[in-house]
Amino acid sequence: MIIVNDKMQQNYEYKLIMDMGDVFNNGFKPELTPKEMLELGVFEGHYLNDCKNEFPKDWFDNAKISLDKPDIRCNYFKVKSRQSLKEWQNKGWIIMPDVRGWFQWYCRYYMGRRIKNVDEIQIKRWLAFKRHKAQIEKNCTMYDIECRKKQRQALLQWAYNPFF
Protein backbone atom coordinates (compact mmCIF):
# COMPACT_ATOMS: atom_id res chain seq x y z
CA MET A 1 0.00 0.00 0.00
CA ILE A 2 1.31 3.43 -0.97
CA ILE A 3 0.23 6.49 1.01
CA VAL A 4 0.74 9.83 -0.70
CA ASN A 5 1.34 13.05 1.21
CA ASP A 6 2.85 15.75 -0.94
CA LYS A 7 2.13 19.37 -1.85
CA MET A 8 -0.79 18.47 -4.12
CA GLN A 9 -2.26 15.33 -2.59
CA GLN A 10 -2.85 14.35 1.03
CA ASN A 11 -3.70 10.91 2.39
CA TYR A 12 -4.26 9.38 -1.03
CA GLU A 13 -3.77 5.61 -0.80
CA TYR A 14 -3.34 3.06 -3.53
CA LYS A 15 -2.41 -0.58 -3.73
CA LEU A 16 0.16 -2.04 -6.08
CA ILE A 17 -1.42 -5.11 -7.63
CA MET A 18 1.14 -5.85 -10.38
CA ASP A 19 4.90 -6.17 -10.33
CA MET A 20 6.75 -3.02 -11.28
CA GLY A 21 7.01 -2.59 -15.05
CA ASP A 22 4.88 -5.65 -15.68
CA VAL A 23 1.75 -6.45 -17.70
CA PHE A 24 0.84 -3.44 -19.76
CA ASN A 25 -2.59 -3.53 -21.38
CA ASN A 26 -4.47 -2.42 -24.50
CA GLY A 27 -1.50 -1.83 -26.78
CA PHE A 28 0.29 0.29 -24.17
CA LYS A 29 3.97 -0.27 -24.85
CA PRO A 30 5.91 2.75 -23.56
CA GLU A 31 9.40 3.02 -25.00
CA LEU A 32 10.90 4.61 -21.87
CA THR A 33 10.56 3.94 -18.17
CA PRO A 34 9.82 6.75 -15.71
CA LYS A 35 13.41 6.49 -14.45
CA GLU A 36 14.81 6.84 -17.99
CA MET A 37 12.57 9.83 -18.63
CA LEU A 38 13.69 11.59 -15.46
CA GLU A 39 17.34 10.90 -16.26
CA LEU A 40 17.03 12.23 -19.81
CA GLY A 41 15.27 15.39 -18.63
CA VAL A 42 11.54 16.06 -18.68
CA PHE A 43 9.07 18.69 -17.51
CA GLU A 44 11.80 21.26 -16.96
CA GLY A 45 13.03 19.25 -13.97
CA HIS A 46 10.14 20.38 -11.82
CA TYR A 47 7.41 17.77 -11.80
CA LEU A 48 7.79 15.18 -9.04
CA ASN A 49 10.23 17.02 -6.78
CA ASP A 50 8.01 16.75 -3.73
CA CYS A 51 6.96 13.16 -4.54
CA LYS A 52 10.24 11.38 -3.94
CA ASN A 53 8.80 9.38 -1.04
CA GLU A 54 6.13 7.87 -3.30
CA PHE A 55 8.42 6.52 -6.00
CA PRO A 56 11.55 4.35 -5.98
CA LYS A 57 14.60 6.26 -4.74
CA ASP A 58 16.75 5.15 -7.67
CA TRP A 59 14.41 6.95 -10.10
CA PHE A 60 15.89 10.19 -8.77
CA ASP A 61 19.55 9.19 -8.49
CA ASN A 62 20.48 10.68 -11.88
CA ALA A 63 17.30 12.65 -12.57
CA LYS A 64 17.58 16.14 -14.00
CA ILE A 65 15.89 18.14 -11.25
CA SER A 66 15.27 21.84 -10.68
CA LEU A 67 14.25 22.42 -7.09
CA ASP A 68 13.27 26.09 -7.18
CA LYS A 69 11.31 26.48 -10.41
CA PRO A 70 10.93 24.92 -13.86
CA ASP A 71 14.17 25.22 -15.85
CA ILE A 72 14.26 24.34 -19.56
CA ARG A 73 17.96 23.53 -19.21
CA CYS A 74 16.83 20.36 -17.40
CA ASN A 75 14.91 19.22 -20.49
CA TYR A 76 16.87 16.99 -22.81
CA PHE A 77 16.18 19.20 -25.83
CA LYS A 78 16.52 22.46 -23.83
CA VAL A 79 13.13 23.72 -25.01
CA LYS A 80 9.90 24.52 -23.20
CA SER A 81 7.34 21.96 -24.23
CA ARG A 82 4.61 21.96 -21.67
CA GLN A 83 1.70 24.05 -20.57
CA SER A 84 0.96 25.00 -16.99
CA LEU A 85 -0.96 22.74 -14.66
CA LYS A 86 -3.73 25.35 -14.68
CA GLU A 87 -3.99 24.98 -18.47
CA TRP A 88 -4.10 21.17 -18.16
CA GLN A 89 -6.93 21.51 -15.64
CA ASN A 90 -8.84 23.96 -17.86
CA LYS A 91 -8.59 21.55 -20.80
CA GLY A 92 -9.77 18.57 -18.75
CA TRP A 93 -6.47 16.73 -19.09
CA ILE A 94 -6.19 15.96 -15.37
CA ILE A 95 -7.90 12.68 -14.65
CA MET A 96 -8.35 11.91 -10.99
CA PRO A 97 -6.82 10.61 -8.85
CA ASP A 98 -3.63 11.73 -10.63
CA VAL A 99 -3.63 15.44 -9.84
CA ARG A 100 -0.40 16.09 -11.78
CA GLY A 101 -1.49 14.50 -15.03
CA TRP A 102 -0.35 11.80 -17.40
CA PHE A 103 3.21 11.30 -16.14
CA GLN A 104 2.04 10.83 -12.56
CA TRP A 105 -0.48 8.28 -13.83
CA TYR A 106 2.27 6.53 -15.82
CA CYS A 107 4.59 6.38 -12.80
CA ARG A 108 1.85 4.85 -10.67
CA TYR A 109 0.80 2.46 -13.41
CA TYR A 110 4.42 1.43 -13.99
CA MET A 111 4.79 0.73 -10.27
CA GLY A 112 1.77 -1.60 -10.39
CA ARG A 113 -1.34 0.40 -9.57
CA ARG A 114 -4.37 -0.36 -11.73
CA ILE A 115 -7.62 1.61 -12.01
CA LYS A 116 -9.47 0.19 -15.01
CA ASN A 117 -11.41 3.25 -16.21
CA VAL A 118 -8.54 5.68 -15.57
CA ASP A 119 -6.02 3.34 -17.20
CA GLU A 120 -8.19 3.02 -20.31
CA ILE A 121 -8.47 6.80 -20.71
CA GLN A 122 -4.76 7.43 -20.18
CA ILE A 123 -3.70 4.63 -22.52
CA LYS A 124 -5.95 6.06 -25.24
CA ARG A 125 -4.35 9.48 -24.71
CA TRP A 126 -0.89 7.89 -24.98
CA LEU A 127 -1.84 6.05 -28.18
CA ALA A 128 -3.20 9.28 -29.71
CA PHE A 129 0.05 11.09 -28.94
CA LYS A 130 1.92 8.78 -31.29
CA ARG A 131 0.83 11.05 -34.16
CA HIS A 132 3.69 13.36 -33.14
CA LYS A 133 6.19 10.60 -33.80
CA ALA A 134 4.72 10.13 -37.27
CA GLN A 135 5.06 13.87 -37.95
CA ILE A 136 8.74 13.81 -37.04
CA GLU A 137 9.33 10.72 -39.17
CA LYS A 138 7.60 12.43 -42.10
CA ASN A 139 9.34 15.82 -41.78
CA CYS A 140 12.83 15.10 -40.41
CA THR A 141 15.89 13.31 -41.65
CA MET A 142 16.59 10.16 -39.66
CA TYR A 143 18.56 10.86 -36.44
CA ASP A 144 18.43 14.65 -36.91
CA ILE A 145 17.53 15.39 -33.31
CA GLU A 146 17.72 19.13 -33.98
CA CYS A 147 14.62 18.80 -36.16
CA ARG A 148 11.35 19.49 -34.30
CA LYS A 149 12.93 19.68 -30.86
CA LYS A 150 9.67 20.71 -29.15
CA GLN A 151 7.86 17.68 -30.56
CA ARG A 152 10.77 15.43 -29.60
CA GLN A 153 10.72 16.78 -26.04
CA ALA A 154 6.98 16.19 -25.91
CA LEU A 155 7.47 12.61 -27.15
CA LEU A 156 10.03 12.07 -24.40
CA GLN A 157 7.50 13.34 -21.86
CA TRP A 158 5.00 10.77 -23.12
CA ALA A 159 7.44 7.82 -22.85
CA TYR A 160 8.12 7.65 -26.60
CA ASN A 161 11.70 7.37 -27.80
CA PRO A 162 12.47 10.73 -29.48
CA PHE A 163 15.85 9.60 -30.90
CA PHE A 164 15.11 8.20 -34.33
Summarize pLDDT for 85-106 with one digit per residue, the tens: 888 788 888 999 999 999 999 9
- Residue 22: per-residue pLDDT: 84
Give pLDDT tens digits for 92-141. Answer: 889 999 999 999 999 999 999 999 999 999 999 999 999 999 999 999 99
Q: Are residues 132 and 140 in contact, defined by beta-carbon separation less than 8 angstroms?
A: no
Structure confidence at residue 16 (pLDDT):
97
53-72: average pLDDT: 94
For residue 86, the model assigns a pLDDT of 86
